[in-house]
Amino acid sequence: MLFLGFMTIENNFSLFPFNTFKIDCSARWFSKISTIQELTHLLSQNEFTNADKLIVGGGSNILFTKNFDGLVIKNELLGIEKTNEDEKHVYLKASAGVGWHQLVLFCIENNWAGIENLSLIPGCVGAAPIQNIGAYGVELKDVFHSLEAYSVADKKVIQFNSSDCEFGYRDSVFKNKYKNQFVITSVTFKLNKTPHFKTSYGAIEQELDRMNIKDLSIQVISKAIVNIRSSKLPNPDLLGNAGSFFKNPEISLRKFEELQKRFPEISHYSLSNGNIKLAAGWLIEQCKWKGKSIGNCGVHQHQALVIVNYGGATGAEIFDLSEQILQSVKHKFDVELEREVNIL
């Protein structure tokens, strides 16, 4: 254990509590930061200049396949504040360490609309723009205004607007060009005072009918989505997982038409660019993976997109299972799946 003034740095620290897959691994160094000053102080230490660095919030989109031979920083920057508003919108700034669903509930309590469809997504605010999180017809970029990120090289906070972030499907500039170069410290959202309901995606309308809802509100939409997610997705506190493990693949219209001749029931939807997006869960299920276990891990019985750790699985075991799934989908459909989870 090291002490940097008011900060503690742990050596060979267990990361088991800090990843939702519940992988038993360790970090060479581990520390928590609750202010930007602490972050600056930590990163200015010569000992960490050339070390690999990893920022974790909820640890909900990571698969550790080995110990992390570097510095893991737990982001505990907290706080939510309204920074501006106009006739139609409220601008809300949330620190990176705030739990995502906590932010959703805060907005719902204040009748600020836009992220209710993103209810119950695990993780923290800081990870949301990196992944451009999305669910039930809404993506983070739809409500994004700006973010602040600490430049590891320049040792200062820089602001990014939407175009700077280069948002894509579960993607942003922070996953590729600027990977490991910035620490996101806060995100500002542009929320609606008058809601624009999105209920046509997935089973939202069916769940609203089941709930006997007559009048729509962001509160009831959030509740419906919480119900749906809770029925389909395992709680990571009870069963190790990282949510959807694979992205939905995008293919050309020509290739889709060929596939549809062989598989008339293939689950899909059309994109504005003329391509077709396939449902990765459907593809995996057709390959007979849903509910299948191999050793200490397997594919969840209610959602084929989710790989779970039944207890004691290593990251390498889970990665190997994902590789088998990729290969079987490729063999049956000639479609390449891509992992959504970050492999370390």
Query: Which of 9-18's residues contact partners 24+ apart within 8 Å by CB, and which partners?
Result: 9/42, 13/72, 15/56, 15/59, 15/64, 15/68, 15/72, 18/56, 18/59, 18/72, 18/74
Report the distance separating Cα 75 and Cα 296, nearest Å: 30
DSSP 8-state secondary structure symbol assigned to residue 118:
G
DSSP secondary structure, 120-165, as one string: T--SBGGGHHHHT-EETTEEGGGTEEEEEEEETTTTEEEEEEHHHH
Which among 116, 148, 207, 340 is annotated as catalytic?
Answer: 340
Write out the two tokens for 330. 């490729």
Catalytic residue flag (residue 254)? no
Q: Is 170 marked active-site?
A: yes
How many angstroms from the chain centroid is the CA of residue 16? 19
Asked about 244 being catalytic, the answer comes back as yes
Chain center to CA of 106: 19
Of 31, 170, 172, 207, which is the active-site residue?
A: 170
CB 140 within 8 A of CB 134: yes
Please tell me what DSSP assigns to residue 90. E
- Token reading at 79: 């706080």
Helix and strand numbers (H, E) in the chain are 9, 21
Main-chain phi, psi angles of 140, to 5 degrees: -55, -40
Identified catalytic residue from 31, 172, 222, 244? 244
What does the CA dihedral 98, 95, 158, 4 come to, rounded to 10 degrees? -80
* Distance of alpha carbon 81 from alpha carbon 188, whole angstroms: 9
Question: Among all residues, which ones are annotated catalytic?
Answer: 170, 244, 340
